[in-house]
């Protein structure tokens, strides 16, 4: 399926309706797409990014339909194989040169076994003339690897941003139309792979805004004919502002920790604090990640098992540590039978986070009346913290 973006500019990439998992861990409830953009100049033709090799046939069919028999340049914005994996075949078939930055070249020599002579190396601000269409290269690192860059088509004011501003969403729409759906999928995508690089991304957003694009065309999901929609969403997610929300990630073996969670939810409600609750036995990475984007407080609730936290709680702590959400407070609570290192082990797994750790609340066995008072105190402390953070009036 060919999707026209502008005169002489087509999305010739592949839609992957069936894919359910990315990186063997990230769920894809809406499938995904690998967008590859053909830009036809009067003299030269460029392809911006390619597709996951499994979907190469879709790309080749689209190129054939457009009667493309020569590709001069493959612009590679990002070395990850869902965008670069088909490059070796396309070099072979079309005799194209790969246009990218030096860091990306290094990765592609390792990942795809390309050779020095396959590349034309560009740097920040360089341009490539195709004849009536000029590509300009803007370095936008860490969206999502250190080598990532954006290609800007000057005449049509189109920013090809690869993963940046993308969404894992299979759709036959060329441009985003179902805004609620795409907002959610783009937020999930941001949460899963970009959240750890929030501050660098803020600078990258500014660089893209300065280009004053009319269209943003990422390499996953639909393009945006209204760039402010996705730029504003990214500004919201990357800003230091959090919401009056607590995310409780819990696992409970025999119900004691669950009773603590239920009580905390009730008490936080009485304090006027919004709560999201995820059972770690069923929640997937995408759901946990998206929930983390703008909460002020995260609570890890776990029973003590084998003298430490339940492995699912360790997973949640590890995930929070890796994704680095902007939450300001983290708490640990749970029930234990006879002791253990639950708090120490979870703390060790949260070491990279610049958060205030709340006083942990561990209780022995099934909560008693006095334990519920302690949970109520915890809810009060959280509400006070939220007031101090300015998110609760
Ligand atoms: Fe869509 Fe980081 O690759």
**Phi-psi map region of 24: left, alpha, beta (phi>0 left; psi -120 to 50 alpha):** left
- The predicted structure's pLDDT at residue 242: 98
Domain ranges of the chain: 3-238, 246-385
Q: Is the separation of the CB atoms in 223 and 217 below 8 Å?
A: yes
Residue closest to 209 by CA, chosen among 140, 142, 264: 140
Tell me the pTM: 0.96
- The predicted structure's pLDDT at residue 192: 95
Q: 3-state class of 163 per DSSP? A: coil
Which atom belonging to ligand 1 lies closest to the Cα atom of 219? 1
Cα(294) to centroid(ligand 1), Å:
23
Which atom belonging to ligand 1 lies closest to the Cα atom of 145? 2
Same fold, 3-238 and 246-385: no
Which atom belonging to ligand 1 lies closest to the Cα atom of 148? 2
CA angle 258, 262, 267 (to 5 degrees): 145
Residue closest to 56 by CA, chosen among 30, 105, 91, 25: 91
Cα(81) to centroid(ligand 1), Å:
7
- CATH class given for the domain over 3-238: alpha beta
Q: Hey, which residues does 215 pair with through a beta bridge?
A: 158
Largest CA distance in the chain: 79
Is the alpha carbon torsion for 298, 299, 304, 310 positive or negative?
negative
- The predicted structure's pLDDT at residue 204: 98
Q: 3-state class of 276 per DSSP? A: strand
Cα(41) to centroid(ligand 1), Å:
27
Cα(322) to centroid(ligand 1), Å:
17
Cα(5) to centroid(ligand 1), Å:
21
The two three-digit tokens of residue 25, written as one number: 């861990």
Q: In 10 A of CB 148, how many CB atoms?
A: 25
For residues 365 and 355, give the distance between their C-alpha atoms in angstroms, rounded to a whole number. Answer: 29
DSSP class of residue 132 equals S
Residue closest to 119 by CA, chosen among 101, 135, 98: 98
Instruction: List per-block mean pLDDT (blocks of 10 residues) for the chain, which spans 393 residues.
Output: 97 96 90 97 98 97 97 98 98 97 98 98 98 98 96 98 97 93 96 96 98 98 97 97 98 98 98 98 95 98 96 97 98 95 97 96 97 98 98 96
b/e sequence 51-75, b meaning 16+ C-beta within 10 Å = bbbebbebbbebbeeeebeebbbbb
Which atom belonging to ligand 1 lies closest to the Cα atom of 193? 2
- Ligand 1 environment, Cβ below 6 A: 78, 80, 82-83, 144, 163, 220
Residue nearest atom 1 of ligand 1, based on CA coordinates: 163
For residues 185 and 211, give the distance between their C-alpha atoms in angstroms, rounded to a whole number. Answer: 25
Cα(80) to centroid(ligand 1), Å:
5
Which atom belonging to ligand 1 lies closest to the Cα atom of 162? 1
Cα(190) to centroid(ligand 1), Å:
11
Residue nearest atom 3 of ligand 1, based on CA coordinates: 80
Which atom belonging to ligand 1 lies closest to the Cα atom of 144? 2
* Assigned fold of 246-385: Rossmann fold (3.40.50)
- The predicted structure's pLDDT at residue 315: 97
Cα(162) to centroid(ligand 1), Å:
7
């Amino acid at each position: 399926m060919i999707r026209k973006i502008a005169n002489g500019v087509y999305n010739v990439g592949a839609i992957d309706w069936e894919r359910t998992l990315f990186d063997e861990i990230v769920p894809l409830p809406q499938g995904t797409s690998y967008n590859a953009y053909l830009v036809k100049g009067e003299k030269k033709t460029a392809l911006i990014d390619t597709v996951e090799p499994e979907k190469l046939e879709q790309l080749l069919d689209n190129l054939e339909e457009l009667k493309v028999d020569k590709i001069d340049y493959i612009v590679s914005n990002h070395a990850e194989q869902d965008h670069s994996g088909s490059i070796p075949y396309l070099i072979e078939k079309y005799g194209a040169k790969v246009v990218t930055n030096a860091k990306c070249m290094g990765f592609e020599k390792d990942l795809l076994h390309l050779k020095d002579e396959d590349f034309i190396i560009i740097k920040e601000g360089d341009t490539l003339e195709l004849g009536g269409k000029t590509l300009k290269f803007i370095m936008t690192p860490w969206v999502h690897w250190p080598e990532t860059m954006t290609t800007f088509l000057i005449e049509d004011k189109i920013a090809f941003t690869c993963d940046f501003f993308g969404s894992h969403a299979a759709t036959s729409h060329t441009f985003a139309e179902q805004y609620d759906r795409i907002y959610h999928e783009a937020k999930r995508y941001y949460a899963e792979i970009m959240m750890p690089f929030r501050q660098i991304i803020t600078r990258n957003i500014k660089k893209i805004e300065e280009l004053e694009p009319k269209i943003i065309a990422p390499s996953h999901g639909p393009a945006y004919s209204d760039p402010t929609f996705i730029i504003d969403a990214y500004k919201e997610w990357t800003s230091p502002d959090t919401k009056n929300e607590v995310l409780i990630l819990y696992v409970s073996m025999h119900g004691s920790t669950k009773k603590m969670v239920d009580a905390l939810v009730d008490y936080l409600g009485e304090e006027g604090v919004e709560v999201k609750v995820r059972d770690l036995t069923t929640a997937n990475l995408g759901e946990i990640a998206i929930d983390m984007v703008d909460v002020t407080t995260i609570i890890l609730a776990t029973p003590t098992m084998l003298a430490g936290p339940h492995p699912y709680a360790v997973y949640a702590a590890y995930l929070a540590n890796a994704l680095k959400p902007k939450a300001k407070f983290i708490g640990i609570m749970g029930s234990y039978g006879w002791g253990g290192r639950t708090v120490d082990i979870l703390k060790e797994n949260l070491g990279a986070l610049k958060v205030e750790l709340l006083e942990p609340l561990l209780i022995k066995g099934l909560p008693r009346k006095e334990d519920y008072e302690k949970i109520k105190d915890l809810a009060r402390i959280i509400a006070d913290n939220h007031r101090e953070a300015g998110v609760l009036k």
